[in-house]
């Protein structure tokens, strides 16, 4: 499972919010399922983050809030391993978003940064 190219309003999961998420379910041979969405962070995206990501406040204004896609994220990642480059960064944002909803989100992780070093 690839849960990433998640972008946010900043670099600190406890103070910032997700603005985009993509989940690809992979069986080792091919992509089986995909989900991608902009996410309304319910706060203004700082200018420097807009410059880094290209995601503007106008782009997320009518996007779903995280609470509206949380169930889908849970279903797509249930009993799966989240694979990503520097995956702890993305995972921190996911866990924080779920924590704000009163849900403890835990998944196994595989970091491709570590794999590439081996």
Give the mean pLDDT of 62-86: 95
3-state secondary structure of 75: helix
* pLDDT tens-digit readout, 87-115: 998 999 999 999 999 999 999 999 999 77
* pLDDT tens-digit readout, 32-62: 999 999 999 999 999 988 998 999 999 999 9
Look up tokens 């996911």; give the residue: 94
Where is 108: in which H helix or E strand? strand 108-111
What is the CB neighbour count within 10 angstroms for residue 51?
8
Tokens of 81: 């391993």
Q: What is the dihedral of CA 112, 78, 4, 93, to 10 degrees?
A: -110
| pTM of the full structure | 0.83
**How open is the CA angle 35-66-6, to the nearest 5 degrees?**
55
With contact defined as beta carbons under 8 Å apart, do 29 and 6 qualify?
Answer: no
CA 52 to chain centre: 16
């Amino acid at each position: 499972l690839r849960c990433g190219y998640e972008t946010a309003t900043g670099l600190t999961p406890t103070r910032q919010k997700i603005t985009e998420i993509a989940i690809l379910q992979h069986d080792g041979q091919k992509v089986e399922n995909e989900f991608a969405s902009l996410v309304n962070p319910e706060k203004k995206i700082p200018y420097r983050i807009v410059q880094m990501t290209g995601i503007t406040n106008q782009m997320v204004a009518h996007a779903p809030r995280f609470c509206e896609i949380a169930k889908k994220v849970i279903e797509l990642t249930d009993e799966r391993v989240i694979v990503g480059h520097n995956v702890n960064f993305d995972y921190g944002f996911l866990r924080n978003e779920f924590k704000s909803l009163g849900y403890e989100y835990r998944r196994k992780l595989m970091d491709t940064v570590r794999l590439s070093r081996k």
